[in-house]
């Protein structure tokens, strides 16, 4: 299978590949960063973030020693912030355990925080030339069609089967390019719906093209819909300041949000909860509604403005992981995209 697939695919890739900043380097740090940023994020969006991030943290040691808030701020707007936290944790592991040099074996790379089989394979093959596959969602689609896998790709044994078939197809040279070519084919011709098989370099070898069931593959079991949560986003102002809370929960951990109250639809209940927390507030107005969709949940938000009647004590702020911040300070803090509309509203209140 090796040459059959790799020869036409690599020839096609040489012609069709997009010129992307991270394709002009073999520096493992740069490739690692691009791979992490590209998870769940569009190429066009990543380009600017990638450039700015590397200007701010040009080396692994610069990233390892930066304050976490600075790293999260550089990530602001990209979402899935655990990626940024793990990136920095991994940079610290590399600094402490590998003398600041990016590890050179697949087994070492995959042990780094935030790096799974796909990312380890991508960095290993692209930056270091290791003979390992890099199987992302695009490659699962291409491979299931190419090799005619007609079982649920969510099942681990089916994933193992696909992985074995991709490994079997790896060329002895240019493995990194081959992996990228498979991904590029999935991102272009071999799209989820109506793939452009007439333009595909693998059409002659493709099982599902021959069978005509491309649109039915890969087979996915039904996903559970995300959970919807009603959320009061309380903008608590005191003079020219607003109260923000540093998240300790897993979702958006380490980022700043406004005072959030979950599963409360009645205004009076929000006021009661604020009072129970020791925050003496007076309701001012309701500032509209918003929605933010995460992978597994949806926040249906109602923006409420309350005025704090007195300045909360330091002990209370500490207990709530909260602080009062000015307009300027609010601009500097890392806030998730889910808080973007609330932030705009808060800036007009203080």
**Of 145 and 343, CB closest to ligand SF4:** 145
Q: Does residue 337 contact residue 262 with C-beta atoms inside 8 Å? A: no
At residue 109, φ and ψ (nearest 5 deg) are -65, -45
Least separation, in Å, of the C-beta of 41 and ligand SF4?
24
Least separation, in Å, of the C-beta of 157 and ligand SF4?
23
Least separation, in Å, of the C-beta of 164 and ligand SF4?
18
**Of 166 and 234, CB closest to ligand SF4:** 166
Spatial distance between the Cα atoms of 75 and 59, rounded to a whole number of angstroms: 16
Could you write out the DSSP letters of every residue in 274-313? HHHTT--EEEEEEEEEEEEE-SSEEEEEEEEEEEESSPPP
**Of 48 and 168, CB closest to ligand SF4:** 168
Footprint on this chain of ligand SF4 (rule: CB under 6 A): 142, 145-146, 189-190, 195, 197, 200, 202-203, 206, 208-209, 214
Least separation, in Å, of the C-beta of 195 and ligand SF4?
4
Q: Does residue 235 contact residue 346 with C-beta atoms inside 8 Å? A: yes
| Burial readout 280-300 (b: 16 or more C-beta within 10 A, e: otherwise) | ebeeeeebeebebebeeebbe
Candidate list 35, 44, 221, 228, residue with the active-site label? 35
190-197 contacts at long range (C-beta below 8 A, 24 or more positions apart): 190/138, 190/141, 190/142, 190/145, 192/141, 195/145
Spatial distance between the Cα atoms of 56 and 70, rounded to a whole number of angstroms: 9
**Of 149 and 202, CB closest to ligand SF4:** 202
Residue 294: cis peptide before it, omega within 30 degrees of 0:
no
**Of 71 and 190, CB closest to ligand SF4:** 190
Least separation, in Å, of the C-beta of 131 and ligand SF4?
22
Q: In the 8-state DSSP scheme, what is residue 162?
A: H
- Asked if 35 is an active-site residue, the reply is yes
Catalytic positions: 35
């Amino acid at each position: 299978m090796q040459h059959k697939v790799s020869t036409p695919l690599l020839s096609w890739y040489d012609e069709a590949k997009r010129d992307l900043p991270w394709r002009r380097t073999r520096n493992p740090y740069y490739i690692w960063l691009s791979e992490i940023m590209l998870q769940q994020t569009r190429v066009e969006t990543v380009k600017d973030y990638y450039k700015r991030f590397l200007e701010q943290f040009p080396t692994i040691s610069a990233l390892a020693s930066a304050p976490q808030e600075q790293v999260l701020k550089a990530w602001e707007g990209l979402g899935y912030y655990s990626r940024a936290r793990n990136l920095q944790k991994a940079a610290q592991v590399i600094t402490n355990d590998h003398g600041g040099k990016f590890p050179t074996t697949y087994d070492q790379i995959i042990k780094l925080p935030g790096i799974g089989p796909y990312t380890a394979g991508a960095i290993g093959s692209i930056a270091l030339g290791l003979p390992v596959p890099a199987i992302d969602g695009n490659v699962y689609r291409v491979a299931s069609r190419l090799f005619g896998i007609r079982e649920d790709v969510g099942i681990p044994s089916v994933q193992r089967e696909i992985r074995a078939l991709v490994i079997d197809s790896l060329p002895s040279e240019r493995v990194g390019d081959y992996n990228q070519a498979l991904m590029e084919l999935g991102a272009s011709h071999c799209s989820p719906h109506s793939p452009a098989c007439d333009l595909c370099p693998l059409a002659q070898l493709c099982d599902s093209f021959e069978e005509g069931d491309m649109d039915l593959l890969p087979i996915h079991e039904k996903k559970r819909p995300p959970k919807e949560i009603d959320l009061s986003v309380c903008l608590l102002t005191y003079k020219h300041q607003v109260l923000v809370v540093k998240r300790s929960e897993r979702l958006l951990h380490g980022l700043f949000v406004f005072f959030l109250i979950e599963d409360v639809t009645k205004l009076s209940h929000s006021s009661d909860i604020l009072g129970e927390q020791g925050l003496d507030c007076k309701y001012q107005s309701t500032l509209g509604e918003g929605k933010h969709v995460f992978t597994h949940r949806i926040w249906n938000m109602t923006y409420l403005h309350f005025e704090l009647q007195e300045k909360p004590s330091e002990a209370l702020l500490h207990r709530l992981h909260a602080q009062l911040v000015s307009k300027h300070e609010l601009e500097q803090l890392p806030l998730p995209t889910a808080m973007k509309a609330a932030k705009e509203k808060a800036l007009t209140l203080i």
